[in-house]
Amino acid sequence: MSDKWEYLDEAMTASSRNTIKELFAQDPDRAKKFSLSAAGWFLDYSKNRIDRKTMNALVKLAEASDLRTEIEKMFTGEKINVTENRAVLHTALRNCDPDAKVLVDGKDVMPDVRAVLEQMGVFAEKVRKGVWRGHTGKKIRYVVNIGIGGSDLGPVMANIALTPYSKRSLKFFFVSNVDSTHLAETLRSVKAAETLFIVASKTFTTQETMSNAEAAKAWLVDKLGSKDAVAKHFVAVSTAAKEVAEFGIDTANMFGFWDWVGGRYSLPSAIGLSLMIAIGPANYRKFLRGYWKMDCHFRTAPFGKNMPVVLALLGILYSNGYGAESYCVLPYDQYLSRFPAYLQQMDMESNGKSVDKDGKPVECVTGPIEWGEPGTNGQHSFYQLIHQGTHLIPCDFIGCCQTHNPISDLHDKLMANLFAQTEALAFGKTEEECRAEGVPESLVPFKTFEGNKPTNTLLCDKLTPETLGALIALYEHKVFVQGVIFNVYSYDQWGVQLGKVLAKGVLKDLTAEKPSGRHDASTNQLIARYRKALGR
């Protein structure tokens, strides 16, 4: 077959033959057959519109996309980020094999990876144990990470997720927005003499981060009355030593990473410094081990039993086969409240592309619109549309069997809701079932649920550093697989770069003596109105 997309047609033919309800009725072993375990996670994907034929055809789609070769290219440091001429090696950051060698341009990157991890560990312990003191000799009690996008979303998400492992006497804040409110409200909550600022920026040139960092520096110097205070209260996480030094941070207090770490994949690099300070180096290493376990599974498991590959293929079945426009991630764990936001960047920035690797328009629908909220909150809001709306929205439900906070039967109730939702979405409620329940005839159309709504359920025993690491790696690799099949470059982000440039021109017009008037009529009008409101 020359056109690999014919395998998707084959998958669709098999998939559309039966409803999920019929498929369960036909095969009592279905749940077992369509379940997988890897790296501490159990995936039940039986509540999908699939049978063995569907999955076989989807696996052929992966094979016809040379997925195996592409996976090896990534893990072995080939420059698969072609438009930026870079390797893509976030997997090297968590490679726990002490003998591993990963070459980029003939140089083994692993010694540097291990050295930075060591440097981070020493520093994190100093802060945690109160050995690292501020300018006035006080211990650090507040840590403020200043970063945005890939230098913020991961640290925020993981910091919340691993709260039970966090040193509670330290308080963590994350400033990202160039809206001064974000910084101002944070500074109101901390004391200068006890605050450590981590300026996290791969490039150290990002407008939002550098503006916030400069403002925080001015605030600190003002509060502590000396420029010398900066050295004890600012550290940097960056690839740009020169820019870090220019900002005034001693490069001895800079934690490096490399151009082969993409922003949205950088959490397991030094960008995770705030997390390491929170949970300690030992837990941080467990976090990396979790990633690594999923990496090993992904690299070696056959595609039909490979968790990231299976999730990726199911996603493509719905987006490209059934025309589903979006995709919902529903963690039933309050600690994972920022996980959907984190995934949004990972997926949408990676595969939100419309040009293929040859620079031609893509032949398929690429990355889905991704969204979600923690359960059960979402049930009282947007689930209505998933159950009875006109859009098909495949969902991933994520749950943890044990809670960190047992209070009466709350956790049983939480999990009962998770399981019940997947049941209702798959099986729905027929008109007959409504009538049997005594629903008045006039209400039957409204109380009928079509069902046949696909869901995946991911379960772990407990949310730990290790299971969180594995969960992140699962989705990273899912996104990678989809990018390979879509035939797009998943590791550049020219749309983000554009945003970084555009605002600069407008900023000049907001502040100049006289605006240039070189924009479109609408933008010129908005600039004029803003200037007028400020008396400019």
Give the footprint of ligand G6Q on this chain (CB under 6 A).
148-151, 201-203, 206, 209, 262-264, 349, 493, 496
Given 349, 373, 466, 476, the catalytic residue: 349
Coil, helix or strand for 344?
Answer: helix
519 in catalytic set: no
**CB-based closest residue to ligand G6Q:** 149
Cα atoms in the Cβ-side hemisphere of radius 13 Å centred on 522: 0
- Least CB distance to ligand G6Q at residue 59 (A): 30
Residue 119: which of 249, 263, 232, 257 has the closest Cα? 257
* Residues 425/451, Cβ–Cβ less than 8 Å: yes
Given 129, 413, 500, 508, the catalytic residue: 500
Closer CB to ligand G6Q, 307 or 472, in the complex: 472
Closer CB to ligand G6Q, 34 or 486, in the complex: 486
Residue 270: which of 179, 182, 145 has the closest Cα? 145
As a whole number of angstroms, the distance between CA 431 and CA 247 comes to: 68
Cα torsion 32, 318, 326, 4 to 10°: value is 120
- Least CB distance to ligand G6Q at residue 201 (A): 3
500 in catalytic set: yes
- Least CB distance to ligand G6Q at residue 248 (A): 17
CA 481 to the chain's CA centroid: 15
349 in catalytic set: yes
SS3 content of the chain, % helix, strand, coil (to 5): 55, 10, 35
Closer CB to ligand G6Q, 87 or 148, in the complex: 148
- Least CB distance to ligand G6Q at residue 212 (A): 11
Closer CB to ligand G6Q, 206 or 422, in the complex: 206
- Least CB distance to ligand G6Q at residue 267 (A): 11
Phi, psi of 440 (to 5 degrees): -60, 145
Closer CB to ligand G6Q, 264 or 286, in the complex: 264
Residue 237 is given by DSSP the state E
Cβ-Cβ contacts under 8 Å for 253 (sequence gap 6 or more)? 123, 231, 234, 235, 236
Closer CB to ligand G6Q, 127 or 236, in the complex: 236
Measure the CA angle with vertex 532, ends 529 and 535; round to 5°: 155
- Least CB distance to ligand G6Q at residue 488 (A): 15
Given 380, 504, 514, 532, the catalytic residue: 380
Tokens representing residue 519 in the block: 């924009």
Which residues are known to be catalytic? 349, 380, 500
